[in-house]
Structure 1
Amino acid sequence: MIRHLFTLIWNRKRSNFLLMAEILLSFFVLFVVSVLLVNNYYNYRQPMGFASDNVWQFDVNPGQDTIDRKETLQRLVQELKATPGVAAVTWTSDNTPFSFSNMNTDEYLYKDKQAPLTEFYDADDDMAKVLSLNVVAGRWFDRRDDASSRHHVVVNKRFAEEMFGQESAVGKVMTNEKHDEEWQVVGVVEAYRSGSDFAANEPALFSRRALQNTARLGNTEQPILLVRVQPGSAAVLEQQLVRKIKAVTKGWDANVNTLAENRKDKMKFVMTPLIALGMVGVFLILNVALGLFGVLWFNISQRKSEIGLRRALGATGNAISGQFLGEMLVVTTLGVIGGWALAVQFPLLGVFGLPAPVYFMAMILATALIFLLTAICAFQPSRQAAGIHPAVALREE
């Protein structure tokens, strides 16, 4: 049966070659779209590494006030910590979770090995408590780091794997090209995907900025505070904290938002191109379906005499229908094989820089879509072929 199908396909090799070329190109485009969709789904399933519920973000703006800014910030943090309903307060850089800001660097060296491009975060001793970070090795920052002459840092597992390989990251000392600064790793967190729900788990590094050492707080920096509140805290506590900020700072402005709201806003921003990509994919599938349907319908109209002769020789309607379905599946298989030959180059060459499982899942998804599409498109024309009466077909010839 398979040999017979190949013979039929070879006898109509010109039209079938064009059909295979269409399937190959359709598979390749579906594969590229699937790679992007599968990658986002893959990222979505990864752990965020922190908890954003019940965390409020206060963007504090000192304005033109440059007098005692550091001491004022210290008093403010202590006052907020003492407020009933507040569980913890952290002072951090402006690349907070779900923000549109980022800071990255690759200045770190370990045994002359350059660090990957790493997202850099300012953190204090309470950040792990505020964001519920999962420390899987070593520890988070604490007062033991005050007397050290090195910068103490915490990294995520992705950074540790790319920088140190199979070695334990805790205790490792990194330097820069000039060897005039050193960073010692004191802990490792599981993950930290702060960009969005679809952000990849990229290398991340937290550098300790103690509240007692505000040397890095310049006159132009606007402090950002993340405050973890007790579950169920409402607008009353929010207004109380804003009033306390203004009372302690003598007039500094404070804008408050929750990380949950920031997460929703970032989700809308990220989903827009994904929805557009999905619409492109649907439009492509529709065009491919219409093209295949038209080609199959034309083939049947051109092969009525063959169908009539087979029916006259005793072939059943199911046999005729199965023949057309079989031919279409064989042609699809040949086109998909060519598509796989192109698609397999993506993980081999590292195109897009994504994990290999993402490419293979996308290849499987694109293959399933193409076969499903061709089977649906071939179903009605094959039923039409099965219903052709031999006498009518032969008389038309």
Structure 2
Amino acid sequence: MIRHLFTLIWNRKRSNFLLMAEILLSFFVLFVVSSLLVSNFYNYRQPLGFTPENVWEFDVDPGQDTTDRKATLRLLVQELQATPGVAAVTWTSSNTPFSFSNMNTDEYRYKEKKAPLTERYDADDNMVRVLGQKVVAGRWFDRRDDAAAHSPVVVNQKFAEEMFGDEAAVGKIMTNDKHDQQWQIIGVIEAYRSGNDFAANEPALFDRRVLQDSGKVGNTELPILLVRVQPGSGAVLEQQLVRKIKQVTKGWDANVNTLQENRQDKMKFMLTPLIALGLVGLFLILNVALGLFGVLWYNINQRKAEIGLRRALGATGNNIGRQFLGEMLVVTTLGVAGGLVLAMQFPLLGVFGVASAVYVQAMLLATVLIFLLTAICAWQPSRIAASIQPAVSLREE
């Protein structure tokens, strides 16, 4: 039967070649779309590495105030911390969770090995209380680091794996290209995906910055305060905190958002291209379905004499239907095989920079979609072919 199907396909190789090319191209596009969608779905299911619920972000703007900003911030953090309903307060850099700000660097070295591109965050001793990062090795910053010989840092597991492999990261001392700065890793957290819910778990490093050390906050630095509040806190506490900020800072502006609001805004921003990809894939599937249905319908009309002759020789309607369905599945297999050859180059070249498992899942998804689409499109024309009576088809010829 298989040999017979290949013979029929070869005899109509010109039309079948165009059909295989269409299937190959459709498979390839579906694979690309599936790779991106599977990758984002895989990232979405990974832990964020922190708890954004009940955390408010205060964007404090000193404006033209040239006083000692660090002293003002120290007093402000103390006052906010003492406010009923506030659980913890931290001072950090502008690349807060779900923001549109980044601080990437690759300056770190260990035994001449260059670190991967890493997102760096400013953190103080209270950040772990505010965001709830899970420390899996070592510890978070505390007062023991005040007299540290090297600048203490905390990294996530992704950074530790890429930088040190199977070696323990805690205690390692890193330097820069000029060897004039040194950082010592004192702790490792599980993960930290602060960009958005679809962000990959990229290398991250937290650099300790406390308000008690020397120096002032630069004029270009706008302090960001993250405040963990008690569950159920609302507008009353928010207004109270804003008033306290203005009183302590003598007029600094303060804008407040919850991390959950920032998360929803970032989600909408990220969903737009994903929805567009989904619509592209849906439009492609619809066009392929219409094309396949039209080709099969045309083949049936062109092969009525062949169908009538087979029916006259004793072939049943089911035999005719299975033949057309089998031909379509063989053509689809040949087209998908060519598409798989192209798709296999993606993990080898690391085109999208995702895990190999994502490419494999995308290949399987695209293959299933193409075969399912082909079977659905071939089902109705095959039924029509099976219902053709030999006397009718031969009389028409």
* Class of the TM-score when normalised by the shorter of the 2 chains: over 0.9
In structure 2, distance between residues paired with 1:3 and 1:391: 28
Partner residue in 2 for 1:170: 170
TM-score for the superposition, normalised by structure 1: 0.99
Mapping 1:1-397, distance limit 5 Å:
1-213=1-213, 215=215, 217-397=217-397
Q: For 1:176-215, what per-residue CA distance to the aligned partner results, in whole angstroms no more than 9, with x for missing partners?
A: 0100000100000110000000011110000000121262
Whether the aligned pair in 2 keeps the contact of 1:69 and 1:219 (CA below 8 Å) is no
Whether the aligned pair in 2 keeps the contact of 1:90 and 1:130 (CA below 8 Å) is yes
In structure 2, distance between residues paired with 1:165 and 1:211: 34
Whether the aligned pair in 2 keeps the contact of 1:296 and 1:381 (CA below 8 Å) is yes
In structure 2, distance between residues paired with 1:341 and 1:70: 60
In structure 1, distance between residues paired with 2:246 and 2:221: 18
In structure 1, distance between residues paired with 2:216 and 2:333: 62
Deviation at 1:357, TM superposition (A): 0.6
Q: For 1:30-61, what per-residue CA distance to the aligned partner results, in whole angstroms no more than 9, with x for missing partners?
A: 10111111111011011100010000000011
Secondary structure of residue in 1 paired with 2:147: coil
Whether the aligned pair in 2 keeps the contact of 1:85 and 1:233 (CA below 8 Å) is yes
Secondary structure of residue in 1 paired with 2:352: helix
The size of the alignment, in residue pairs, is 397
Deviation at 1:8, TM superposition (A): 1.3
In structure 2, distance between residues paired with 1:171 and 1:208: 16
Select between 174-183 and 345-354 the one with higher mean Cα deviation: 345-354
In structure 1, distance between residues paired with 2:309 and 2:214: 92
CA RMSD of aligned residues (A): 0.8
TM-score for the superposition, normalised by structure 2: 0.99
Secondary structure of residue in 2 paired with 1:270: helix
In structure 2, distance between residues paired with 1:160 and 1:60: 33
Q: For 1:231-250, what per-residue CA distance to the aligned partner results, in whole angstroms no more than 9, with x for missing partners?
A: 00111111111111111111
Whether the aligned pair in 2 keeps the contact of 1:135 and 1:188 (CA below 8 Å) is yes
In structure 1, distance between residues paired with 2:67 and 2:95: 26
In structure 1, distance between residues paired with 2:68 and 2:359: 55
| 1:343–1:216 CA distance, 2 compared to 1 (3 A) | farther
| 1:369–1:304 CA distance, 2 compared to 1 (3 A) | same
In structure 1, distance between residues paired with 2:18 and 2:48: 47
In structure 2, distance between residues paired with 1:86 and 1:213: 24
Letter paired with 2:160: A
Secondary structure of residue in 2 paired with 1:48: coil
Deviation at 1:12, TM superposition (A): 1.2
In structure 2, distance between residues paired with 1:351 and 1:262: 31
In structure 2, distance between residues paired with 1:61 and 1:347: 46
Letter paired with 1:98: F
Select between 51-60 and 11-20 the one with higher mean Cα deviation: 11-20
In structure 1, distance between residues paired with 2:134 and 2:230: 20
In structure 1, distance between residues paired with 2:362 and 2:64: 54
Q: For 1:91-132, what per-residue CA distance to the aligned partner results, in whole angstroms no more than 9, with x for missing partners?
A: 000000000100000000001000000001000001011001
In structure 2, distance between residues paired with 1:96 and 1:113: 29
Deviation at 1:9, TM superposition (A): 1.2
Whether the aligned pair in 2 keeps the contact of 1:325 and 1:379 (CA below 8 Å) is yes
Letter paired with 1:194: S
| 4+ aligned runs moved over 2 Å, structure 1 | none
Letter paired with 2:336: V
Q: For 1:355-391, what per-residue CA distance to the aligned partner results, in whole angstroms no more than 9, with x for missing partners?
A: 1011011000100110011111101110110111110
Letter paired with 1:71: A
In structure 2, distance between residues paired with 1:264 and 1:352: 26
In structure 2, distance between residues paired with 1:231 and 1:176: 43
Deviation at 1:220, TM superposition (A): 2.8
Give the percent of matched residue pairs that are identical in Structure 1 and Structure 2: 80
